[in-house]
Amino acid sequence: MQRQHAPYRADVVGSFLRPDAIKQARLKFASGEIDAGQLRAVENEAIRHVVEQQCACGLHVVTDGEFRRAWWHFDFFDGLQGVERYDSNQGIQFNGVQTKAHGVRVTGKLGFGDHPMLEDFRYLKSISGDAQPKMTIPSPSVLHFRGGRKDIDATVYPRLDAYFDDLATTWRDAIHAFYEAGCRYLQLDDTVWAYLCSDDQRRQISERGDDADELARIYARVLNKALEGKPDDLTIGLHVCRGNFRSTWISEGGYEPVAEVLFGTVNVDAFFLEYDNDRSGDFAPLRFVRPGKQQVVLGLITTKNGELENPEGVKARLQEAAQYVAKDQICLSPQCGFASTEEGNSLSETQQWDKVRLVTKIAEEVW
């Protein structure tokens, strides 16, 4: 049976390949050839077009493609109170490639004020027509995990329990601010839960003095505190990602190490889960998803390359997942965005839209 509300049987994670018009406008803005208003006008037109393209593919949900961002997370962090960006010694290490060298640190008391992305959402809502506009922001755990204790000013937060309290409150305020702006579908993007599933990442976490299992419990508490008082007509999804930069990844490993804490205790309405290859493990961890409570949006269509999946193979995997979680609780999406950073993944725009159409076609046939 098709769903009339979020998450939809055919859904998307959020980002799309940046069109040339945006790339050129960003370069001109950086060199001073155009001003912020002119850049925004170009972005507005590109976003209007990407919304039309999503609808043309049969989606009932639309995003702005994250076209105003360079990164899926740093641009949001930049707008928070108490957070500053800095140039780090090295970028984030992916499988065989590094990102640009940036980091964020907490230099003051965390807070959510008049964030520029509220206006970004209002624009999306104004042009979304009959489709449901979805906003995507990073999850609170990402702000802590990236730098850990060393990137939190000890004079501001001598004790981390006060930091985690403020982290939760900041995101709770963000959730309510987006709701007031008209948002009824919000997605929290979270690479950290996947790191906690990776043997290599768990070793690195231990080497820096943290305990991976304890972090899982802390992040679950922060998320649940942020979700307290969430309006009933607001759907919140959590997207768990193993890294997505120029078609590469960071972590590998199934969800089993965090499944009981993540699926069994975190009070989101939906989990968006990467399941596009062997690095994601099997479906057995889905046994911890609470019956009838939450949707599981399975990312069975990869955004890492342009090769189209076999529809029958995808349907077979949906059936396999239904051994562990009710079919009525399952939806389908690409495994991640197509451009978590402005560089984008290694596929063409034509291949990108073929993938989205495949999602909607399979969902129509299965449900």
Q: Mean of the pLDDT values across residues 230-246?
A: 83
Residue type, 6: A
DSSP 41-68: HHHHHHHHHHHHHHHHTT-SEE--BTTT
Which H or E element spans position 192?
Answer: helix 192-195
**Residue-level pLDDT at 243:** 54
Sign of the alpha-carbon torsion through 164, 209, 261, 93:
positive
Q: Of 301, 366, 290, 299, give the one whose Cα is nearest residue 325.
A: 290
Do residues 254 and 194 lie in contact, with contact meaning Cβ atoms separated by under 8 Å? no
Percent above pLDDT 70 for the chain:
92
* Ramachandran assignment for 192, one of left (phi > 0), alpha (psi -120 to 50 degrees), beta (any other): alpha
Which H or E element spans position 326?
Answer: none
Per-residue pLDDT reduced to its tens digit, 107-135: 999 999 999 999 999 999 999 999 999 99
Q: How far apart are the C-alpha atoms of 250 and 283, rounded to whole Å? A: 21
Q: How far apart are the C-alpha atoms of 53 and 204, rounded to whole Å? A: 42
Q: Of 121, 356, 106, give the one whose Cα is nearest residue 234.
A: 121
Residue whose pair of structure tokens reads 């009932």 in the numeric block? 60
Q: How far apart are the C-alpha atoms of 4 and 193, rounded to whole Å? A: 29
Per-residue pLDDT reduced to its tens digit, 165-217: 999 999 999 999 999 999 999 999 998 898 888 888 788 888 888 888 999 99
Per-residue pLDDT reduced to its tens digit, 246-280: 444 455 668 999 999 999 999 999 999 999 766 56
Name the token pair of 118: 């509220």
- Tell me which DSSP letter residue 8 carries: P
- Give the strands of the sheet with 270-274, arranged side by side: 135-138, 185-190, 235-240, 270-274, 295-301, 330-334
Burial of 355 (0-12, 13-18, 19+ CB in 10 A): buried
Residue whose pair of structure tokens reads 């499944």 in the numeric block? 259
